[in-house]
Amino acid sequence: MLVILLGAGKGLENSAYEDFGDDAKSIIRLWAGRTSQEYKGLPPGRSLRFTNDEYEVLSDLEGINETAKRYFLWGQYFIKYKNKSLSFEVQCVNPSYLKFEKPQLLEGRLLNKRDMIEKRKVCVIGINVQEGFFENGKNPIGEYLNIKGTDYQIVGVYTDTGWEGKKRRIYLPITTTQLVEGTERIHQLTVEMGDDVTLAESQVIEDRVRNSMANQLKFNPDDRQALYVNNQIENFNRFRSTMNMISFFIWFVGIGSIIAGVIGVSNIMLIVVKERTKEIGVRKALGATPYSIVSMIVQEAIFLTSLAGYLGLLCGMGLIIAIQKIMEENEIDAQYFKNPEVDMQMVLIALVILIISGGIAGLIPALQAVKVNPVEAMKS
């Protein structure tokens, strides 16, 4: 039970850590909302929007290394390649955003600063987009996709180890999209604070960002509905606390099962002592010392717990390995359960504790066996 629980817990943990590990951890994401409070004569209920001005303001704030911006192409439309039309998610970003997302480049290149400055009509596509439009492994670099009536040249193909939906994205330079759409609007802003930033420092920077945006967009800094802030460091610490609680629960249940097993061994040895009362009486009559009686019962208890613990370890590990093989052979991509595995060192420590506990459990019936009267025992 302990091995299976630890394996399942590790699978859940691996999945969650993979999602976090895929993106930069020290980032803060911002979304403009709607004001819920009056501010300096301005009424509540105002819808706020980010523009390039807010992006420039954030770039100059203390404690921020890099800033990214993102624009979504909303609406129902198809992306076309020659005679084929498919629907994929299109996001318009700057190079810093891709640095935060950490896509793995397969062919070509990612977006760069020259794409932004020259407002080039280029795009980077996910592996699923390539598979959808280009059959038989055809190299898509240099081909053109038509997006909302504009042709964009494919300059790169990427994959992503995180959420599966990321592989279905098409990335465009945000400056090009703003030019085509005739807008300076930005749907989401992201700031990166550095890998060595602590939770407390990130919260200070978060307050600084909120106050700066409040001053720029004219809303009360305490109005939480006006600006939605997602601090990834806070999310990661919250997740880590949750995983620690799950780990504690797993060990609590696992140790409970071990204790139940030890009690079972103790009960079995009590029955064994009762059934062998005559034998123990004969041994004592022939001169067996209390130590030899105690050691005999304890050794049997240790043998039982060692054998049962080892078999349990084999069964648990076998089941975990079987689950891994089934997932690999059938190419099952369990989003919330990846690579279940067990820390052998921890399991072996638990096995040693089980064996020691079994020995202690056998000590009680062993001491009871020592008290057996030889004459009464042989009469039984």
Strands 79-81 and 66-72: unpaired
Residue 152: pLDDT above 60? yes
Collapsed DSSP state (helix, strand, coil) of residue 265 = helix
**6-16: pLDDT as tens digits:** 777 777 777 66
Which has the higher per-residue pLDDT, 262 or 157?
157
- pLDDT band of 304, cuts 50, 70, 90: confident
- pLDDT band of 336, cuts 50, 70, 90: low
pLDDT recorded at residue 19: 60
**208-232: pLDDT as tens digits:** 999 999 999 999 999 999 999 999 8
Q: What is the mean pLDDT of residues 160-166?
A: 78
**136-150: pLDDT as tens digits:** 778 899 999 999 989
For residue 86, which amino acid is it?
A: L
pLDDT recorded at residue 335: 56
Cα-Cα-Cα-Cα dihedral sign, residues 168, 17, 192, 66:
negative
Give the ranges where the chain is alpha helix by DSSP (H): 2-22, 52-59, 95-101, 113-117, 127-133, 174-181, 199-217, 232-275, 277-285, 290-329, 344-370, 374-379
Which has the higher per-residue pLDDT, 271 or 18?
271
pTM (2 d.p.): 0.71
For residue 288, which amino acid is it?
A: A
Q: What is the largest CA-CA distance in the chain?
A: 106
Residue 155: pLDDT above 90? yes
Residue 42: pLDDT above 60? yes
Q: Which tokens sit at 228?
A: 């939605």
pLDDT recorded at residue 106: 93
Query: How does DSSP assign 277-341, residue by residue?
Result: HHHHHHHHHTT--HHHHHHHHHHHHHHHHHHHHHHHHHHHHHHHHHHHHHHHHTT---TT-----
In the predicted model, what is the mean pLDDT of the chain? 85
Q: What is the mean pLDDT of residues 153-159?
A: 95
**Separation between Cα atoms, residue 189 and residue 68, nearest integer Å:** 6
Q: Kind and range of the H or E element at 125? A: strand 122-126
| Residue 380 CA: distances (Å) to CA of 68, 287, 296, 366, 371 | 87, 19, 21, 19, 15
pLDDT recorded at residue 50: 95
- pLDDT band of 96, cuts 50, 70, 90: very high
pLDDT recorded at residue 21: 56
pLDDT recorded at residue 339: 66
DSSP state of 254: H
